[in-house]
């Protein structure tokens, strides 16, 4: 599924200059679905899980570039970042974990506020994964 998703993303990039946005969107949506399937099938301990989640996050970002600001699904992007943060943690990739978790926490803080349950939950998860001192630097 990861290879299929990668090839669909490549097709989307190639279609960008030749056919319309509809074809690009179709390829990207197919790629996102294949990455999601791969993530659900790959064990957490397999390093390929990080690769699949990275592909999913990249694809979601590419899809967002095609959408208007009102149609963008920031929640899906944030959920993917949190999932990727967990995967990075499992594989000892702490710098990458910190980057995606901080991005997720900052988005939730900006959208919902510091005391919203989703912001608090994301911050607590990041704190458990990375330690208190790192989290305090993210969101003032």
> What pLDDT is recorded for position 58?
94
> What pLDDT is recorded for position 91?
93
Q: Is 59 exposed, middle or buried (0-12, 13-18, 19+ CB in 10 A)?
A: buried
> Which pLDDT tens digits describe the chain residue by residue (140 residues)?
777 777 777 777 776 655 667 788 888 999 999 999 999 999 888 989 999 999 999 999 999 888 877 777 888 999 999 999 999 999 999 999 989 998 999 999 888 888 999 988 888 888 888 876 555 454 44
Crossing angle of helices 74-90 and 117-130, in 10° steps, is 20
Q: 73: which DSSP letter?
A: -
3-state helix, strand, coil in the chain (%, to 5): 85, 0, 15
Cα separations in angstroms, 39 against 6, 80, 87? 13, 11, 10
Domain ranges of the chain: 1-72, 73-140
* The model's pTM: 0.80
Per-residue model confidence as pLDDT tens digits over 67-97: 877 777 888 999 999 999 999 999 999 999 9
Is-contact 57 103, C-beta < 8 A? no
């Amino acid at each position: 599924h990861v290879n299929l998703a990668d090839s669909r993303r490549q097709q989307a990039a190639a279609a960008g200059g030749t056919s319309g946005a509809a074809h690009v969107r179709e390829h990207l949506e197919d790629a996102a679905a294949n990455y999601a399937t791969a993530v659900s099938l790959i064990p957490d301990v397999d390093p390929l899980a990080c690769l699949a989640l990275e592909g999913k996050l990249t694809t979601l970002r590419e899809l967002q570039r095609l959408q208007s600001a009102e149609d963008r699904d920031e929640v899906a992007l944030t959920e993917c970042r949190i999932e990727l943060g967990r995967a990075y943690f499992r594989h000892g990739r702490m710098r990458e974990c910190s980057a995606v978790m901080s991005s997720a926490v900052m988005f939730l803080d900006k959208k919902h506020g510091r005391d919203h349950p989703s912001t608090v939950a994301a911050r607590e998860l990041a704190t458990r994964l990375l330690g208190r001192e790192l989290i305090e630097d993210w969101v003032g």
